[in-house]
Chains A and B, each alone.
Chain A
Amino acid sequence: MTPPSINTRMLIAAGLILAGFLSITGITLERTYRVSAEDALKERMMIHLSVLIASLDQDEQGNIHMVYALPEPRFFTPGSGLYAKIIKNNGEIPWSSPSMLGMEISSHESFSRGDQNFEHIFSASGEPLLSLSIGLTWGEHDAKNEGYTFVVIEDLGRINQQVKHFRHNLWISLGGVTVVLLLMLTLILRWGLTPLRKAAKEIGEIEAGMHREIEGEYPKELSGLTDNINALIRTNSEHESRYTASLGDLAHSLKTPLAVLRGAVETPDTSIEALRKTTEEQIQRMDQIIQYQLQRAATSGRTALTAPINPERIANKVIAALDKVYADKKVQGNLTVNTTHELHIEEGDLMELLGNLVDNAYKWCQGHVDITLSLEHHHGTRLLIEVADDGPGISQELSDKVVQRGWRRSEAEITGHGLGLSLVSDIVNLYEGELKVKQSPLGGALIQIYLPL
């Protein structure tokens, strides 16, 4: 299964977060609305109760009378949803509002003077109601039986209806907000991911051979990637042209020895001895050509993504290997390391470079080889590799040729001692370094290689 696209991931994540966030908002808003609606209702009920109390008075017999008419018409309309009654603490009900007609509301406990209470109750028919009860006495009578409990009851149906209505509107608008936000997010994502899509398209076009590299301008988050891809493509094509050139050179230079061989075979009275000699010579020639051209093609060169390596580690490996190979000669190979600086070079190339240099030194020395790694600061900071031996040294003629940049070797020159050095020279040129051949203080050759870090 392919992993979900960045678009899908972002939308799923944003959708989940929005849903959670908006649900909590919705629930909180709804609850707050309900509380404030009930608070308003309670306040109104208090006013109704105060008006009711103010409209009554007690006569000498202790009976209560309606002195003023109640201003609220709902008390007089049956089923209006607003009810009131007065309960004497001995259980008598001296007054109840006409709106209570036909209503059965369970009797209330008697409240002592000053007590008041809101209570959620249900009518006999099961409708939700809110009742406010308050205990009162007339005058100084404090006896419990003399007290009254005033009750005002309001139907909660209306308020429930309001809350329901509010909830409906609330969820519709929240849903709308969610949809709009997700749509905007989709647009933002599309805009934000445009460079990625563009890069993918450009890479596709490179694959199709329409472009050579990624050309567009990219935001800084992507430019590192696209620059590296371009560098990779460039290295790749450099490699490719080097391979092609090497293959061409290889094929061409093999033709000559092949022609010599064919000539020898087709010459009628060539002796077996002469044939053997010619074959042996030409095999050696072909071997050297192949060795040289293949090693040249195998050299990687600096790429954009070459990891830095520690030259000391490679030098130690090469010296350990050569100590084994030249065990009989008992060469004193000394490595002096004056820098811990790392070098951006392909490991195989550095090994090839050091292998050829140190192998030559071991081969030609009498017993001493000094290898030194240090930093040099004349032309920018560069790594200096020095290999010195106490052998016969290198002829002026050969060293002149080797240090010449872009020196094209004829077949005759890529033999023997010069082969290793010419490969080294190739690698050094590839890394834009410098090669010097000098007289070593030990008496033999001193090869100096400068490589940019």
Chain B
Amino acid sequence: MRVLIVEDEEELRLQLHQRLVDVGYAVDVAENGEEGKYIGKEYPIDVAVVDIGLPNMSGIEMIRKLRELDKDFPVLILTARGRWQDKVEGLEAGADDYLVKPFHMEELEARLKALLRRAAGVSQPTITSGPITLNTTSQEVTLDGTLLDLTAYEFKVLEYLMLNAGQVISKTVLTEHIYAQDYDRDSNVIEVFIGRLRRKLDPENEIKPIETLRGRGYRFNMINE
């Protein structure tokens, strides 16, 4: 999942960046509203963390402009002032949740997860498809109740596919949402991840959870009992 952090305070920006990279996000950072607007407009961002007290263009202004550009990824605002007027103004401008500084990193992560799930139309922290259960909070995947040993990138790929179940996801889109920078666009890496995931999720090749659509990408098909 690709997250945009817009925060002018350098120390906090670095802490947020490090923390979110550690828990498996592809992270883009901006230190002011202009830059944040540019990244939000040009890159396939899944969720944004925006400080509303930014220099030049305020966070609220930035969110409003992104919404005008039809960018509808969820936005979590950070506010130092706990006044309801600020919160209501931010939420009216198009933010989806708020967090008052100082906050716990765990709280921030939980809110981001919730926003991503909500954006995908999933209200539970776990997504279940037949024998496969993915827990977005604990970042664990079980197959028939047995914990699977997935690498961070394998988990990211599976999480993205399951949150967007039923949709065709191209390799480019997958790459963009998993790597922050224009990393290695070599689609072989994605193919390798998909291959490994298939072996781990479906060792007997019975349920075929991830479908390949030649020349278009992959699709996760939900299995309903």
Which residues of A approach B to under 8 Å, CB–CB? Answer: 283, 287, 291, 294-295, 298, 317-318, 320-321, 324-325, 327-328, 330, 347-348, 351-352, 354-356
Cβ of B97 < 8 Å from any Cβ of A? yes
Tell me which residues across on chain B come within 8 A of A295, comparing CB atoms.
82-83
- Check if A325 sits within 8 Å of B82, measured CB to CB: no
- Check if B82 sits within 8 Å of A294, measured CB to CB: yes
Tell me which residues across on chain B come within 8 A of A283, comparing CB atoms.
102
Distance of A354 Cα from B102 Cα, bound (Å): 23
- Check if B83 sits within 8 Å of A352, measured CB to CB: yes
Tell me which residues across on chain A come within 8 A of B88, comparing CB atoms.
317-318, 321, 351, 355
Cβ of B71 < 8 Å from any Cβ of A? no
- Check if B96 sits within 8 Å of A324, measured CB to CB: yes
- Whether A321 touches B91, Cβ cut-off 8 Å, given contacts A283-B102, A291-B100, A328-B114, is yes
**Inter-chain contact count A-B, CB under 8 Å?**
51
- B64-105 near A? 1/0 per residue, CB < 8 Å: 000000000000000001111101100110011110101000
Cβ of B118 < 8 Å from any Cβ of A? yes
Distance of A381 Cα from B16 Cα, bound (Å): 51
Cβ of B137 < 8 Å from any Cβ of A? no
Tell me which residues across on chain B come within 8 A of A355, comparing CB atoms.
84, 87-88
- Check if B91 sits within 8 Å of A324, measured CB to CB: yes
Tell me which residues across on chain B come within 8 A of A320, comparing CB atoms.
91-92
Distance of A418 Cα from B74 Cα, bound (Å): 30
Tell me the minimal C-beta distance from A282 to chain B in angstroms.
Answer: 12
Which residues of B approach A to under 8 Å, CB–CB? Answer: 81-85, 87-88, 91-92, 95-98, 100, 102, 114, 117-118, 123
Distance of A347 Cα from B84 Cα, bound (Å): 10
Would you give 22 A-B contacts (Cβ < 8 Å), ordered by A?
A: A291-B100, A294-B81, A298-B81, A298-B83, A317-B88, A317-B92, A318-B88, A320-B91, A321-B87, A324-B95, A325-B98, A327-B118, A328-B123, A330-B123, A348-B84, A351-B83, A351-B84, A351-B88, A354-B84, A355-B87, A355-B88, A356-B84
Distance of A320 Cα from B90 Cα, bound (Å): 12
Tell me which residues across on chain A come within 8 A of B102, comparing CB atoms.
283, 287
- Whether A348 touches B83, Cβ cut-off 8 Å, given contacts A324-B96, A325-B97, A327-B118, is yes
Tell me which residues across on chain A come within 8 A of B97, comparing CB atoms.
324-325
Tell me which residues across on chain A come within 8 A of B98, comparing CB atoms.
325
- Check if B84 sits within 8 Å of A328, measured CB to CB: no
Tell me the minimal C-beta distance from A426 to chain B in angstroms.
Answer: 14
Distance of A352 Cα from B118 Cα, bound (Å): 27
Distance of A20 Cα from B98 Cα, bound (Å): 71
Partner of A325 from the list B83, B91, B100, B117 (CB cut-off 8 Å) is: B91
Tell me which residues across on chain A come within 8 A of B118, comparing CB atoms.
327-328
Partner of B85 from the list A327, A328, A351, A356 (CB cut-off 8 Å) is: A351
Tell me which residues across on chain A come within 8 A of B85, comparing CB atoms.
347-348, 351-352
Distance of A354 Cα from B83 Cα, bound (Å): 12
Tell me the minimal C-beta distance from B222 to chain A in angstroms.
Answer: 20
- Check if A352 sits within 8 Å of B123, measured CB to CB: no
Tell me which residues across on chain B come within 8 A of A318, comparing CB atoms.
84, 88
